[in-house]
Structure 1
Amino acid sequence: MQWAERTWTELPGDLQAVSAAAILPVGATEQHGPHLGCGMDFVLADALCRAAAKATGVPMLPTLPYGCSLGHSRRWPGTIALDPILTTQLVAAIGEGAYASGVRRLFIVNAHVTNAAPLRSALEILRARHDGLMVALVNTATLSERVREAHFADAADWHANDAESSLMLAIAPDLARPDRFADADDPDRTEGLVFAHPVNRTSLNGVTGRPSLATLEKGQHLFGWMVEDLCALIRKGVTETPPLSHGFDEPATIPTAREKS
């Protein structure tokens, strides 16, 4: 169920069938150490959301391949970063277009950690502009406890680590250089720090974690979990309604004792 492959006469029916829901995958283009391609984040977002769209019938908007990657500095070639304000504005504009096309439930699926703040800002903008639009921000590495544990197993500030390297072996082997995995390990140096330092001040090669531990089997299992858990979240969101039905433009009233309970 790819938005870009549907005609304008087909999309209204597509949306009606899934309570006007749509998925927006967001990634990044940035260095991922000496052993993974720079497209890792958006390739993961695209593959994950394609699988979820197919399983749930919820249309998937085209994947955004750029994100807020300023923290990766210019020490290593490959990073093409948007600043947080531009990222916020871009995603909010995409949300506006989706709303105009009939979307009322938007799942923003983020596969790059430092997109989280700009994407949350875009959510706030869209929610304030459109009382009838519900927006969810889903970060792929923390979809569920089992997915989180797999990502954080070898580093708290992980990047291009065991989990990400295993995922690329499973879903995009052309992005992986297995012969470089063993020499790509670099420890997490962020424990106890007060400031959020850029990657060039915490890593020697752009990696944080142990890609030497990566295997195809790990990647297959992890990706399977991610698809399963994202689909469960989307299916739940397709049927969710707000706890209260009134909108922000309606005058406030003092609740009765029964309403409070």
Structure 2
Amino acid sequence: MQWSMRTWTELPNDLAESQQLAILPIGATEQHGPHLTTGMDTVISDRLCLAVAEKTNVPMLPTIPYGCSLGHSRRWPGTIALQPMTLITLVKEIGDWAYYSGVRRLIIVNGHVTNAAPLRCALEMLRAEHDDLMVAVVNTAQISERVSKAHCADAQDWHANRAETALMLSVAPDTVRPHAIQDADDADRTVDLVFSHPVNRTSTNGVTGMPSLATREEGDELFAWMVEDLADIVEKAKRENAPLPHSYFSS
């Protein structure tokens, strides 16, 4: 069910069977401490959405590997960040063209926390322009209560922490640097702060949390929860219609 692997003659039937629903995964390219690779957010979004697409028979658009990672600063090499307006424009134009291809329900699956604000802006623009397009943004770490609880277990402002390290041990173990995990732990210094500080002022090594506690087994369980709970959202989205039929453009 990968959009990029389908032909123009196949996609109309794919969308008819999915109730005109498609999934758009978005990640980031940014530092993830000394033990995880810069593609972590993209890998999770991609693997998660691929599993859900196969489970629900919903087409998955190609994964966007860049996001709004400005908060990670230039202290550590590896981060490639988009400006918020760039991400808004990119997602808006992808949404436009998906609409022209027949998509009328679009779930944007976001794998990086600070993509959320630009993606909400893109959502506003898409639904305002296309009266019959329904758009949702789902953050991978907040798919459900159990998924959110697992992500924040060792840090409220988590990053490259126990949960993310466990996930990568599960779905992409070759991207984890075992020799660097034990010394990667770093405290969450964001509790009770008024301002939103960049990571260079809250972390010594780009990590927030306790990756040394991660195991592959808990990563397997967490990823299974994410697939199950996102698939439930997708199935619900297939059936959902607007509560009222009123047009955006007229009374």
- TM tier relative to shorter chain: over 0.9
2:19 is the alignment partner of 1:19:
yes
Contact 2:111 2:141 in 1 (8 A): yes
User: Which residue in 2 is equivalent to 1:68?
Assistant: 68
Distance 2:250 2:82 in 1: 38
- Taking structure 1 as the reference length, what is the TM-score of the superposition? 0.95
Greater radius of gyration (CA): 1
User: Which residue in 2 is equivalent to 1:220?
Assistant: 220
Distance 1:202 1:175 in 2: 25
- Superposed CA RMSD: 0.5
Contact 2:151 2:163 in 1 (8 A): yes
Distance 2:16 2:249 in 1: 26
User: Which residue in 1 is equivalent to 2:56?
Assistant: 56
User: Which residue in 1 is equivalent to 2:151?
Assistant: 151
Q: What amino acid is aligned across from residue 37 of structure 1 in structure 2? A: T
User: Which residue in 2 is equivalent to 1:190?
Assistant: 190
User: Which residue in 2 is equivalent to 1:250?
Assistant: 250
User: Which residue in 2 is equivalent to 1:258?
Assistant: none
What is the CA-CA distance between 1:250 and the residue it aligns to? 3.0
Structure 1 residues 1-261: aligned runs within 5 Å:
1-251=1-251
What is the CA-CA distance between 1:178 and the residue it aligns to? 1.8
Distance 1:170 1:81 in 2: 26
Distance 1:88 1:174 in 2: 32
Q: What amino acid is aligned across from residue 10 of structure 1 in structure 2? A: E
Residue by residue over 1:87-108, the C-alpha shift from the partner in whole angstroms, topping out at 9 and shown as x without a partner, is 1110001000100100000000
What is the CA-CA distance between 1:249 and the residue it aligns to? 2.2
Structure 1, gaps ≥5 residues long: 252-261
Distance 2:243 2:18 in 1: 20
Distance 1:26 1:197 in 2: 23
Taking only the aligned residue pairs, the percentage that are identical comes to 67
Structure 2, gaps ≥5 residues long: none
What is the CA-CA distance between 1:209 and the residue it aligns to? 0.2
SS in 1 for 2:99: helix
Distance 2:231 2:50 in 1: 11
Residue by residue over 1:40-63, the C-alpha shift from the partner in whole angstroms, topping out at 9 and shown as x without a partner, is 000000000000000000000000
Distance 2:208 2:119 in 1: 24
Distance 1:30 1:144 in 2: 25
User: Which residue in 2 is equivalent to 1:255?
Assistant: none
SS in 2 for 1:106: strand
SS in 2 for 1:154: coil
What is the CA-CA distance between 1:246 and the residue it aligns to? 1.8
SS in 1 for 2:46: helix
SS in 2 for 1:82: coil
Distance 2:201 2:249 in 1: 48
Distance 2:86 2:4 in 1: 23
What is the CA-CA distance between 1:179 and the residue it aligns to? 2.0
User: Which residue in 2 is equivalent to 1:259?
Assistant: none
Contact 2:128 2:248 in 1 (8 A): no
How many matched pairs? 251
Contact 2:15 2:102 in 1 (8 A): yes
Q: What amino acid is aligned across from residue 192 of structure 1 in structure 2? A: D
Distance 2:121 2:40 in 1: 24
SS in 1 for 2:74: coil
Contact 2:25 2:110 in 1 (8 A): yes
- Taking structure 2 as the reference length, what is the TM-score of the superposition? 0.99
